[in-house]
Homo-oligomer: A and B are copies of this chain.
Amino acid sequence: MINERTFGALADPTRRKILHLLNGGEMTAGELSKHFDISGPSMSHHFSALKQADLVFVRRDGQQLFYSLNTTVFQDLMTVLMDIFAQSNPNGDKKE
């Protein structure tokens, strides 16, 4: 699920805020855009980045596009970070 663009997508604060907003449930592009002082096309660019990063799902209902979190990527991200950071270090194997 995680691809080469996933971390890059997370690197932008606007996109992290979009994801955070989607935490509360799906929202339309327009609703999301209202939370930012950024032009519609620029917002669309961010939505595209999030889509390509597999971080969000999209569905259309009439004129509106509803975005929602792809929460399965969350687990994948955790796994990747664990792989990078969880080390066989002094305390690493301690059970509690």
On A, residues with C-beta under 8 Å from B are: 4, 7-8, 10-11, 13, 16, 19-20, 23-25, 69, 71, 73-74, 77-78, 81, 83-89
| Residues of the B chain whose Cβ atoms lie less than 8 Å from the Cβ of A23 | 83-89
Contact between chains at A69 and B88 (CB < 8 Å):
no
Contact between chains at A71 and B84 (CB < 8 Å):
no
| Residues of the B chain whose Cβ atoms lie less than 8 Å from the Cβ of A85 | 19, 23, 69, 71, 73-74, 77
Measured CA separation A23–B82 after assembly (Å): 10
Contact between chains at A84 and B7 (CB < 8 Å):
no
**What are 19 A-B pairs with beta-carbon distances under 8 A?**
A4-B13, A7-B10, A7-B16, A10-B10, A11-B11, A20-B84, A23-B83, A23-B84, A23-B86, A23-B88, A24-B88, A25-B87, A25-B89, A69-B87, A74-B85, A74-B86, A77-B81, A77-B85, A78-B81
